[in-house]
Chains A and B, each alone.
Chain A
Amino acid sequence: MTGENAILSLRSMTLTAGRDKSGNPEAHGVDFRAGEVTALLGPTGAGKSRFLSDIESLAAADTPTGRTLLLDGAAPTADGRFALQGRLVAQLTQNMNFVLDMKVMDFLRTHALSREARDPDAVARQVFEAANELAGEAFGPDAQLTQLSGGQSRALMIADTALLSWSPVLLIDEIENAGVDKRRALELLVKSDKIVVMATHDPVLALSAHRRLVIRHGAVQAVLARTDEEQAVLARLRDMEEEISGYRTKLRAGEALT
């Protein structure tokens, strides 16, 4: 088992051009740099999750898109791919529920053990507390994973990904559907040294990214860098969200709006 948890460093990553849903060649391969946040946009079913999945599985022309993932400019060898499986990428999918029949704290401790954390109990406790801060409603250490609400499950997955799954690449699939505070979730998740790729339909999240990939019919159609004008729009949108959020809090508390 030696080496399964070695720390990785990665400067750049490339997903080569593949083909779209009709088999036509994709126009763009995409380079990713450490410290850069990239948003994926496109209608539902356009291929955003597929794009993320190609990265997660270290695609080697063996997925339906035919894309290949290069790390620091080179395709990993077969042995290298196996060694990297599960360590290169931390991923938050649209998955809202746990399936495993375990209690929350047992699960976190086992996960910390599997990641060879130095102090598994402390790390588990840290994830547990962060998840409870994110979740709308608190849950206990002995709660069954499968009985957590959608929001609680997502909060736990987010905290686990942020604090326990140390990986140089972070993939996020529609965090806005999480039923948790997306801004706080993103703050917890995005560390400056990571490559972050995020599929989203949310304008604030999309504009929070350094650049956007537009996905259509299974392929990357355009790569757009965020402009100064868009930065200004982002500031406006954030103010609007804050206002909406304020009303939401009041309505939840049973207050009348004035």
Chain B
Amino acid sequence: MTLSMLYGEPRVITVGAQVLGEALDRQAVPRREVDWRPPLPGASAALARVLADPRRESANATAVGRILSARPMLTGVRPAREALGLGAGEFFHAGPPITWERASGPMRGALVGAMLFEGLAAAPEEAEDLLASGAGITLDSCHHHRTVGPMAGVVSPSMWMLEVSDAEHGGTAYCSLNEGLGKVLRYGAYGPEVIGRLRWMGEVLGPALAAALERCGPLDLRTLIAQALQMGDELHNRNRAATSLMVREIAPAVVEAAPDHAAEVLRFINGNDHFFLNAGMAAAKVSADAARGVPGSSLVVAMARNGTDFGIQVSGLGDRWFTGPAGVPDGLYLGGYGPHDANPDIGDSTITETVGLGGFAMAAAPAIVRFVGGEVADAVTATTSMYEITMAEHPAYQIPGLGFRGTPAGIDVALVARTGLLPVVNTGIAGRIAGTGQVGAGLVSPPAEAFTAALDALGDP
């Protein structure tokens, strides 16, 4: 056999004792030193088993390859009742499954609002009693139904959903329509203005968008996201460019399809820089779902929070959730709110980080670095550190400021355990008390135990 290292100049990667690296320096041998640290406590044995799984390397290549090749298209807008088969009293919610008893303030608030919106209760107190009794009520995780929802992520039968299809792998995913900022259902608010807005979205916005999409045909979200990244969005906390691009694409069709409502529909979308977030989330969901179910793969296919637990799902581990307590984000607060008003982390929007957007693409969005409480360099650091725990770089989603390097995509549970680096998550902050709404936005770290628990399960023969 020909051994390539015997020919040509030696160039060495050193990992471990510095004295051995220094010996190479004295010989003027070019080298790169690894800044090695011990793995997460208690992870060593499981790591050895997982890394020695003969399926791992090709399983991961297959799984992450599906995320990278997914071609999400916005194909329709439909009521949840019709798209997801939701019946009366059935609700989906963000994050891993949770009961009313364990639900946090904003999750309870959003469920109350959904009860009022569906006409299942006349007043908040009645809704709470019904939800607490559980009579005629079914709660389940959005993720179990090809769906994602931001913050509380509550989906009820009458809500209209964005439908995103993967033109490459054939999957479909759904996400609700974005309500805007301030007092909104997803942050746990359920006042009359919240319910009124939901009704308008069901009666006007949803049908208008559906008709417009039918006219202009499916919207290529892969291309749109790629462009938005180059215009300063990271697609989680900043969606200004993506929203603008989306409006540009659909505005003529909205005018043609719904001339009576076009102005109010476009005004509503234009007034909400986050309108695209939900479409981006469905795009991320359909891409991540394509990577599910590859035996032996240690790829994370979902990260989601319900306001109480932070959970992850892994390609090689079916639909099992691995959870830890949701942390309180560190960030900036609106008006007079402060950290004591903040609810623990909540929402399915971490599906954006799961496919390499959001916090992973921070370097693309220097305009929002203040959420990190820092400089543009911090955004670059956030993104570059995520290359350490991801399997690939996205071929289409690129970051101009990093020389058009692809975003770090495809979190590897094993790499998280080895490096101790946890995914960087950008997020909104919900008020702790039901009905408060949004109180801020910032960064949050997932609980390490979710990753070590998944690693243990992967290593379990």
Please determine whether chains A and B interact with each other in the same assembly: no
Q: Which residues of B contact A (CB under 8 A)?
A: none
Q: Which residues of A contact B (CB under 8 A)?
A: none
